[in-house]
Amino acid sequence: MTSITIGFIGVGAALLLLVLRVPIAVALGSVSLIGIMEITSPKAALGVISSTPFNFIGNWSLTAVPMFLLMGYVCTTTGLTNGLFRAMRIFLARLPGGLAVTGVAACALFASASGSSVATASAMARIAVPEMLKHKYDSGLASGVIAASGTLGSLIPPSILMVLYGIYAEVSIGQLFLAGFIPGLLSAGIYISMIVMRCWLKPSLAGASNETYSTREKLHALREVWPLPVLIFSVLGGIFAGLFSPTEAGAIGALVSLFIAFTRNQLTWPAFRQAVVHTVIGTSSIFAILIGTLFFTRFLALSRLPTEMSDFVLAATGGNPYLIILGVSVIYIILGMFVESIGLMLLTLPILLPLVNGADMNLIWFGIIVIKLLEIGLITPPIGLNVYVIKGALGSSVPIQKIFQGVTWFLVMDVLTLLLLVAFPILSLWLPALMWR
């Protein structure tokens, strides 16, 4: 059996194990161990297992992962995000579909701080969806907007996915952060435009809002919500001003979040302990996936499968980047229904990066497209992870079919955004080029 054949069998076995819900670290690690043994020898396989994890996890850039996670968990456990939806509602509720628009804005801010689409969808579903249902909003719109908007944190920096992509693809994390700004805001803006247009044309989708708020109430709302934008802009501003690196920014963000919570008398021992526990669990999970992916990368490199596939695809497409992106999109949207974002990205990058490099595509631009595709996968039927998170948070109040129906409009908007990002790379590359001249 040739090494390439073993590589194909290994990829198929890994995908089968993932569909069967075997943890991704276990699936990739076990397939890689057996594959390396078949291609080389048991001794070589054991040598990879003993040396590779320590050398990789010692990468200084990976310290950003637990620090950004800690920043997000401190924000949630200490209540820094509690007034977010109410504050956004005061300023946006008068628009057609104002509460749904509020949901988009609140999710974008929450997700950019927490770095987790699933956490954002779960938290905001409990806050925003009941409020919209109380005001006679269509249940599909109310639930769909939170399922879709929860994904926005992947593009709006700081983003754990961007950190991991930057490390794996060996590109600047700071440039990735900058590159995600316009696509993230564009995604949110297209969501909002669609909601306003639909609710203006069909007012029955959203109950009429006659609420008015005084200047005093607006100022009070700003006092409730200021910690999140201050935290995010202090971290990103420091990166872009050159005061600290993106890796150091994670520690700065965690420190600033603790300081803000302390000054607001919200930093209790139980909240801090809970944030640390969640951070340790989340970091362990991500690092286990990273190690499994690293084994898989070594296995694929020994099999020469990525090189052979890259040569084949480049020959078949003539190196046309748009045809390559079309193929990548199909792969990500299908696999995104079954595999969570971090695992899917790390699973596919060992195969895709040689192809992208061979086609001489910009890795920053490609990274933004990949992250947008991962967002789409989170809400794609029949197994969009965020949809089931929303269902779990809402219980029986909204049927799962209604949530998928509501999310369809947002999927169409995501495809539109993706087409714009592919057709106009400048949307992703203008800010990095401006700052890194």
Cα 249 to the center of its chain, rounded Å: 18
- Tell me which residue has tokens 């990058």: 349
SS3 category, 336: coil
CA triple 286-279-118, angle to 5 deg: 70
Q: What is the pLDDT of residues 34-52, one digit of tens each?
A: 888 888 888 777 777 777 7
Q: Which of 42-56, 64-78, 290-304 has the lowest mean pLDDT?
A: 42-56
Dist CA 287 CA 61 (whole Å): 13
| 209 three-class SS | coil
Give residue limits of the domains in the chain: 3-435
In whole angstroms, give the CA distance from residue 363 to residue 105.
29
Contact 154, 144 (CB under 8 A): no
**Span 380-391, average pLDDT:** 76
Size of the chain, expressed as the number of residues it contains: 437
Residue 338 in this model has a pLDDT that exceeds 70: no
- Band of the pLDDT at 368, cuts 50, 70, 90? very high
The pTM score is 0.83
Rounded Cα distance, 361 and 171, in Å: 13
pLDDT of residue 425: 92
In the chain, the amino acid numbered 273 is R
Is residue 29's pLDDT more than 80? yes
How much is the pLDDT for 189?
A: 92
- pLDDT(191) > 90: yes
Burial environment of residue 79 by CB neighbours within 10 A (0 to 12, 13 to 18, 19 or more): middle
Average pLDDT of the chain? 82
